[in-house]
Amino acid sequence: MKILLTGANGQLGTDLQSVFADPGHHDVLAAGRSRLDVAEREQVLAVVGTFAPDLIIHAGAWTAVDACESDPDRAWKVNALGSRHVAEAARAVEAHLLAVSTDYVFDGASTEPYREWDAPNPQSVYGRSKLAGELEVLEGCPGASVVRTAWVCGAHGSNMVKTVLRLAAEHDRLRFVDDQRGCPTFTEDLASMIYRLAVARLPGRFHVTNQGPTTWFGFAQDVLRAAGRDPGMVDPIATDDLKPPRPAPRPANSVLDNAALRLSGIPLLADYHEPLERTVRALVG
């Protein structure tokens, strides 16, 4: 099978490369932004048209959530228009398209985990541009799928696990918010589920996260525990205590019910403590 990955050098893209390369019998074009800028329609149509993939995994996005607030045109161009281009190109070669999206499509006001069928209400430019990208994909390419995930961490790129380990090496005490809840999700596990869903060509929206909701405060403590450090060095704070406040609002509740997986009888990803242990071992030895 011929597979094209967009955003292939990102945090998730790097693990997608491993997962799709592993079975050995796939022809994979792992395209980073320099090879395939999704915002450039002619380039997308040319690269996809020449390679003629059976499957496209669209993980490329402008993910700088706060920077999106000050440069909305770039967010819309990459995340929304870029997804339109990928959908058009996938349709032209009749490839199955799976695009990756985010918990930021929800406002986080619910006290319940969000299902795939709950009404989105994004509060940030990033969230609005990603929701528009979802619609471009689902409406522009028949049979396409969208995988929404949250709180992504892994061995590659920057993420909260690395931030906690770095801050713990530099400071005696750390502060993390205790009023934002979500499910930390590890790229190796997420990439494996994306592989499974994409190869089966399952259409529609899927929420895919590791299991076990926590807060950033709770997660920071878990990271320190996994690294053999004292979790007591973290103090809980409220989002309102962040000085200066972050430009983009974050959902207070980012917990995604993996309902479409669960109701389809597909086993959910493991509790996040398992991949966290693995990742911390890989990072600190």
Ligand X SMILES: NC(=O)c1ccc[n+]([C@@H]2O[C@H](COP(=O)([O-])OP(=O)(O)OC[C@H]3O[C@@H](n4cnc5c(N)ncnc54)[C@H](OP(=O)(O)O)[C@@H]3O)[C@@H](O)[C@H]2O)c1
Contact residues for ligand X, defined by CB under 6 A? 6-7, 9-13, 33, 36-39, 59-63, 78, 82, 100, 102-103, 130, 149-152, 157
Asked if 65 and 126 count as a contact pair (C-beta separation under 8 A), the reply is yes
Closest CB to ligand X among 216 and 217?
Answer: 216
DSSP state of 102: E
Closest CB to ligand X among 173 and 246?
Answer: 246
In the residue annotation, 126 being an active-site residue is answered as yes
Q: What is the nearest approach in angstroms of ligand X to the Cβ of residue 87?
A: 14
Closest CB to ligand X among 129 and 221?
Answer: 129
Q: Which residues contact 29 (CB under 8 A, 6 or more apart)?
A: 2, 3, 4, 5, 47, 51, 53
Q: What is the nearest approach in angstroms of ligand X to the Cβ of residue 267?
A: 21
Closest CB to ligand X among 171 and 242?
Answer: 242
Closest CB to ligand X among 7 and 178?
Answer: 7
Indicate the residue whose CB is closest to ligand X: 10
Q: What is the nearest approach in angstroms of ligand X to the Cβ of residue 13?
A: 6
Catalytic-role residue among 104, 114, 126, 195:
126
Across the strands, what pairs with 148? 101, 207
Asked if 5 and 13 count as a contact pair (C-beta separation under 8 A), the reply is yes
What is the phi-psi region of residue 269: left when phi exceeds 0, alpha when psi lies from -120 to 50, beta otherwise? Answer: beta
Q: What is the nearest approach in angstroms of ligand X to the Cβ of residue 245?
A: 19
Residue 186 identity (one-letter amino acid): F
C-alpha 106/C-alpha 99 separation (Å) is 17
C-alpha 42/C-alpha 94 separation (Å) is 18
Across the strands, what pairs with 98? 57, 145
Asked if 126 and 186 count as a contact pair (C-beta separation under 8 A), the reply is no
Across the strands, what pairs with 56? 4, 97
Q: What is the nearest approach in angstroms of ligand X to the Cβ of residue 198?
A: 14
Q: First CA to last CA across the chain, in angstroms? A: 36
**Could you list the active site residues?**
126
